[in-house]
A = this chain, B = another copy of it.
Amino acid sequence: MKPERCFRFPFSIFHFQLYTMHSFSALSAIFETGFNTRHFPGHTATLYDPAQYILQLGGKRVRPVAVLMGNELFDEIHPDAYHVATAIELFHNFTLIHDDIMDKAPVRRGLPTVHTKFGNSTALLAGDVMFVKCYEYLNKLKVTSFHKILQLFNTTAAQVCEGQQLDMDFEKTDTVSFDEYVNMITLKTSVLLAASLQLGAILGGTGEGNQQHIYEFGKNLGIAFQVQDDYLDAFGDPATFGKQVGGDIIANKKTFLMIHALEVADATSKEALQQLMIENPADKVEKVLQVFRDCNVNGWANELKEKYLQTALQHLEDIAVVSKRKEPLKELALYLIQRNR
């Protein structure tokens, strides 16, 4: 899993001019080549084959590539960045295995989830052992910033667990405020993207200020992405969305849209929404969407997404590095946010 090598001029002043930054897709291809291997021993196959199984389902590998991009923003890619990127992707897949058990999800990326194929107990254990494997990759690091990297990884891992717990808690709660929802989403999904970028930045040797900016870039981008995801679930094009449009509405999920609608709707519309959630009529999606439109939830969601995107881009702007180096990250942001628009 070697980075592409390029000529490095011995004087750093020229170095930044000669070094060619990689695009997201180029780094994604490099990462995939190295990652596309068996990460587990042959024995005990009944445990390790299920763990390996989910890794072959693919995915965009956004988080590990974010490690490499966060790293390359400040320097040539450090060999240890590939270990961190691998740990991050394994961690993400560990959470997918366990989340799918909790959510009783039958399918992921068009194929049976691990627990559907191998049973709940084996899926639970396969997740556990994948989590161990993260730390095996992290333990390969030779950098002096090892403790700092491990600390950020641990903090983030705990936050992701907290986010998942809050998400489950919200299912049993009548009302969830906007701030509570943003907090949950931040923990459940955004901090991992933020931390991936920061981990790369730490390996790139940059200071605390830049690290915080790249973290905030990732965090706000992650929230913007979730606003978009919630929006597309309601208003997306069924041909390109990839999931069932209206799925969140059918499942009575508290989303950015539903929470806002319940906050701004007049008494009649609010009552209507609540009745629709209780009664689940056949035309529920259509009727909920009508309330959303009446309250301009769609316009509000687009503005909200734009707000978080702009905050993210401002943090990217504030990183003390020449602008040219930031282009791949800017492209990443626009790629994540503008798809399926």
Which residues of A does B touch, CB under 8 Å?
43-44, 46-47, 98, 101-102, 120-122, 124-125, 127-129, 131-133, 135-136, 139, 146-147, 150-151, 154, 157-158, 161-162, 164-166, 168-169
Q: Are A129 and B158 in contact (CB under 8 A)?
A: yes
Identical copies of this chain, number: 2
Known: A46-B169, A136-B151. 14 other contacts (CB 8 A): A44-B162, A98-B125, A101-B121, A102-B125, A122-B165, A125-B165, A128-B128, A128-B131, A129-B157, A129-B161, A132-B154, A132-B158, A136-B154, A139-B150
Taking a contact as CB atoms closer than 8 A, the residue among B44, B101, B131, B139 that contacts A131 in the complex is B131
Residue of B at shortest CB range from A156? B132
Question: In the assembled complex, how far is the CB of residue A65 from the closest CB belonging to chain B, in whole angstroms?
Answer: 24
Docked pose: A133 CA to B154 CA in angstroms? 8
Taking a contact as CB atoms closer than 8 A, the residue among B146, B151, B161 that contacts A47 in the complex is B161
Chain B residue numbers with a CB within 8 Å of A132 are 154, 157-158, 161
Question: In the assembled complex, how far is the CB of residue A236 from the closest CB belonging to chain B, in whole angstroms?
Answer: 28
A43-B162 contact given A98-B125, A124-B124, A168-B122, CB 8 Å threshold: yes
Docked pose: A133 CA to B128 CA in angstroms? 14
Q: Are A135 and B161 in contact (CB under 8 A)?
A: no
Q: Are A124 and B147 in contact (CB under 8 A)?
A: no
10 example contacts (A-B, Cβ-Cβ < 8 A) are as follows: A44-B169, A47-B165, A102-B124, A122-B168, A127-B128, A129-B157, A131-B131, A135-B135, A135-B150, A139-B150
Residue of B at shortest CB range from A151? B139
Question: In the assembled complex, how far is the CB of residue A304 from the closest CB belonging to chain B, in whole angstroms?
Answer: 24
